[in-house]
């Protein structure tokens, strides 16, 4: 599954955003490195403070909408 990319409000980089269950217009920014300090003094990775922050997904990546006024969309098989 290809995740949409969203500009991180903390560091400005384009970061993948995972869908938030139950909120088709929201995404959780994927964990990514801190923009200035990749590792701490002990060598552990440091995350951007905005990692896992909930953001708005770009339009068009939300839930698919169905046209209920059209009983048989073009190309659909009639099963009954
Ligand atoms: Zn960031």
Q: Where are the domains of the chain?
A: 5-56
DSSP category for residue 39 = B
Taken in order 7, 12, 13, 16, the sign of the CA dihedral is negative
pLDDT at 74: 65
Number of neighbouring beta carbons within 10 Å of residue 57: 19
pLDDT for residue 75? 67
For residue 33, the CA-to-ligand 1 centroid distance in Å is 7
CA of 20 to the centre of ligand 1 (A): 18
- Longest Cα pair distance anywhere in the chain, in angstroms? 67
This prediction has a pTM of 0.67
Please give the distance, rounded to the nearest whole angstrom, from the Cα atom of residue 18 to the centre of ligand 1.
14
Query: Residue 80's pLDDT is what?
Result: 60
Task: Say which residue, 79 or 52, is predicted with more confidence.
Answer: 52
């Amino acid at each position: 599954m290809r995740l949409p990319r969203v500009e991180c409000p903390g560091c400005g980089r384009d970061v993948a955003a995972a869908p938030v269950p139950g909120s088709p217009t929201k995404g959780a920014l994927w964990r990514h490195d801190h923009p200035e300090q990749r590792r701490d003094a002990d060598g552990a990775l440091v995350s951007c403070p905005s990692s896992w922050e909930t953001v708005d997904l770009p339009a068009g990546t939300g839930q698919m909408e169905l046209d209920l006024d059209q009983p048989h969309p073009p190309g659909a098989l009639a099963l009954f």
